Amino acid sequence: MDTFIQIVISGLVLGSMYSVSAIGLTLLWGALNVLNMAHGAFLVAGGYAAYYFGGYLGLPAYVAIPGALATGVVLGLLVYAGVARPLRKNANFETTVIIATVGVALVIENLVQKGFGAYPLKQPLSLQGGFNIAQTFVPWNSVLVCVVSIVLLVLLDFVVRKTRYGRMIRAVAQNYEAARLMGIRTGAVYRFVFAISGLMAAISGIMLSTATTLSPTMGYDPMLKAFIVCVIAGLGEVRGALIAAFALGVLEATVQFQLGVRFALPLLLLLVVVTLIFRPQGLLRKNEASRL
């Protein structure tokens, strides 16, 4: 029983982190056909910004965290203005933007390394303490991470499905030209989605760094996991990504526990391969053509 609870709890924590990071990625793809390879670097920037404001400048959490979130939003907007927007008219937009964002990732990572060094740092903004369920210690920080993720994702799903802005995003995703002809300012929609994606990455980066440590390369693993979640759920699926993230989190924790840590990643990758062979549109998607 204890083992079971431990597995479930660590699975949920993993799942929450994957989900927030996957949502940022999947939203950009679903809405704008942009596969942002700098997403992992956005996570790094968010985590380090929180460290900088909270640890280095010693600002209180209620200033440091919004500061880090703003950093994510600004980065998202900069990548839109500096990379996506100039490339948008390009015929091979979808592929050129992948390569360009790899470049952005390298720049961000190296700037972080130059500024903060390559050694792992401890994130000062984490909740201390915890409580016990059936002799299993549950840190408050993990509870917070779970709650924040679920609230965020439910909120985002609501925005995309029910609000005026969400309708505009879906319209641009499903038919760019028709959206323009309905008077939608597509540039504003692009900016909004990039900002949200940057925000999600920053949140994910802060959460991740409170659970582990900060390092300039800490974005790779969550970005890989976010890709896995997206492939399995179907790229562009907001709700699907949420379900897949939690399912994969619990699966990963179970495999780590029962078979050993080294089997977790190969198993996830195997799942990706199997999904791509038998259901390339993703497990949770109705049809191949579906967008947001």
Q: Is 281 in the site for other proteins (CB under 8 A)?
A: no
Q: Are 218 and 16 within 8 A, CB to CB?
A: no
Q: Which stretch binds other proteins (CB under 8 A): 4-12, 17-25, 31-39, 166-174?
A: 166-174
Nearer to other proteins among residue 147 and residue 188 (C-beta): 188
Report the residue number, 114 or 161, with the smaller CB distance to other proteins: 161
Look-up: residue for tokens 């993230």? 245
Question: Is position 262 an interface residue for other proteins (rule: CB under 8 A)?
Answer: no
Give dist(CA 157, CA 49) in Å, integer. 27
The count of C-alpha atoms lying within 13 angstroms of the C-alpha of 292, restricted to the half-sphere facing its C-beta, is 29
Which of 231, 235, 241 lies closest to 204, judged by CA? 241
Residue that the structure tokens 């391969």 belong to: 273
**In terms of C-beta distances under 8 Å and separation of at least 24 residues, what long-range contacts does 168-174 make, across chains too?**
169/31, 169/193, 169/292, 170/31, 170/291, 170/292, 172/31, 172/32, 173/30, 173/31, 173/32, 173/236, 173/291, 173/292, 174/291, 174/292
Q: How far is the CB of 162 from other proteins (least distance, A)?
A: 10
Residues in CB range of 71: below 8 A, 6 or more apart: 45, 46, 49, 202
Whole-number Cα distances in Å, 258 to 18, 137, 225, 267, 268: 21, 19, 20, 13, 15
- Which of 3/163 has CB closer to other proteins? 163
Of 195-234, binders to other proteins (CB under 8 A) are: none
* 285 binds other proteins per the rule CB under 8 A: no
The least CB distance from residue 286 to other proteins, in Å, is: 9
Question: Does residue 90 touch other proteins according to CB under 8 A?
Answer: no
Q: How far is the CB of 167 from other proteins (least distance, A)?
A: 5
User: With respect to other proteins, which residue has the nearer C-beta, 131 or 158?
Assistant: 158
Q: Is 89 in the site for other proteins (CB under 8 A)?
A: no
Least Å distance, CB 178 to other proteins, is 4
CB 172 within 8 A of CB 189: yes
Interface with other proteins by CB under 8 A: which range of 85-93, 119-127, 160-168, 237-245?
160-168
Per CB under 8 A, the list member of 85, 88, 167, 191 interacting with other proteins is 167
Tokens of 267: 């198993």
Site string for other proteins, 172-191 (x = CB under 8 A): --xx-xxxxxxxxx------
| Contact predicate 43/201, CB 8 Å | yes
1 binds other proteins (CB under 8 A): no
Q: Is there binding between residue 85 and other proteins (CB under 8 A)?
A: no
The nearer residue to other proteins, 168 or 193, going by C-beta atoms, is 168
Binding site for other proteins (CB under 8 A): 164, 167-168, 170-171, 174-175, 177-185, 289-292
